[in-house]
Amino acid sequence: MIRTLIVDDEPLARRAIRAPLDLQPDVEVIGEAGHGAAAIAAIEALRPDLIFLDVQMPEMTGFDVIEMIGVDAMPLIVFVTAFDAYALRAFEAEAFDYLLKPFDDLRFGQVLDRVRRQLAAKDAHGDRLRSMLRTLGEAPKLVVRSHGSVRLVRLDEIDWIAAAGDYAEVHCNGRALLLGESMAALERSLPQEAFARIHRSAIVRLDRVAEIRSGAHGDGVLRLACGTELRFSRRYRQAIDAYLGR
């Protein structure tokens, strides 16, 4: 059986997907979700084989759901969308199935036949999914999981990140969010062209730097556009000089 989850914020759209699925002897609809947070919880709890995923949902898009679950942990996806031709070409270029609202029975049957073939071939789609997300130009985000809640923070919203014991504190838009990752892990995962570690306890977004005051021994102080001042150490001075030399 193909264990299937339907994610769409429109009840009518969910019914339009479920009705033909209920007629398939090899498909079991194991759940529905009407928004991104419910989709994440359902994917993690139910572990479906297939998900019909609405792209354009309020507050959290289908692409946000993918980022929060993680590309390699996502089941096979059929995108449900009213996107423009550019996005549809991106789906097609990476061989992803999609249903363009409104869809007819013929198109639905074609998509389902292809899903069956992909599942039978155990098609690994992680790399294709990453490529498609890059093509669509989705703003990269940091997944912040803390105290039972999950937030998506756009990387271009971050001012700096501070060490907080074994965790990290992400400062963005005047807020501080606790992230359950080490500074070393963040330093490896954040894009080096945009972020630099300036101290064992601080990482900054380089385009937020407004002023640099150097000390006598290669260390100094950075003032960010938000007004925050952070010390940098001589050990990490190279990243700052490289950014100034661009």
Q: Cα–Cα distance between 168 and 161 in angstroms, integer?
A: 7
131 and 198 assigned to the same domain: no
For residue range 97-137, what is the model confidence (pLDDT) as tens digits? 888 888 889 989 999 998 998 888 877 777 777 777 776 65
Q: Cα–Cα distance between 177 and 24 in angstroms, integer?
A: 45
Element (H, E) at 71: none
Task: Tell me if 165 is assigned to some domain.
Answer: yes
Show the tokens assigned to 25: 């002897």
73 and 175 assigned to the same domain: no
Show the tokens assigned to 134: 């890059």
Number of domains in the chain: 2
Number of Cβ within a 10 Å radius of residue 48:
22
Element (H, E) at 169: strand 167-172
Domain endpoint, select from 135, 168, 201: 135
122 and 195 assigned to the same domain: no
108 and 166 assigned to the same domain: no
For residue range 135-192, what is the model confidence (pLDDT) as tens digits? 665 556 676 765 555 667 878 889 999 998 888 899 998 888 888 778 888 888 788 8
Q: Residue 145's pLDDT is what?
A: 64
SS3 of residue 186 by DSSP? helix
178 and 128 assigned to the same domain: no
Give the residue among 70, 22, 30, 71 at the shortest CA–CA distance from 50. Answer: 30
Q: Cα–Cα distance between 88 and 47 in angstroms, integer?
A: 27
Domain endpoint, select from 135, 169, 187: 135
Task: Tell me if 175 is assigned to some domain.
Answer: yes
User: Does the pLDDT at position 37 exceed 60?
Assistant: yes
Task: Tell me if 143 is assigned to some domain.
Answer: no
63 and 162 assigned to the same domain: no
Looking up residue 202, the CATH number of its domain turns out to be 2.40.50.1020
Looking up residue 23, the CATH number of its domain turns out to be 3.40.50.2300
DSSP state of 192: T
Task: Tell me if 145 is assigned to some domain.
Answer: no
Domain that holds residue 204: 157-244
pTM above 0.85, yes or no: no
Which of 46-60, 142-156, 202-216 has the weakest average pLDDT? Answer: 142-156
94 and 163 assigned to the same domain: no
Confidence of residue 48 (pLDDT cuts 50, 70, 90): very high
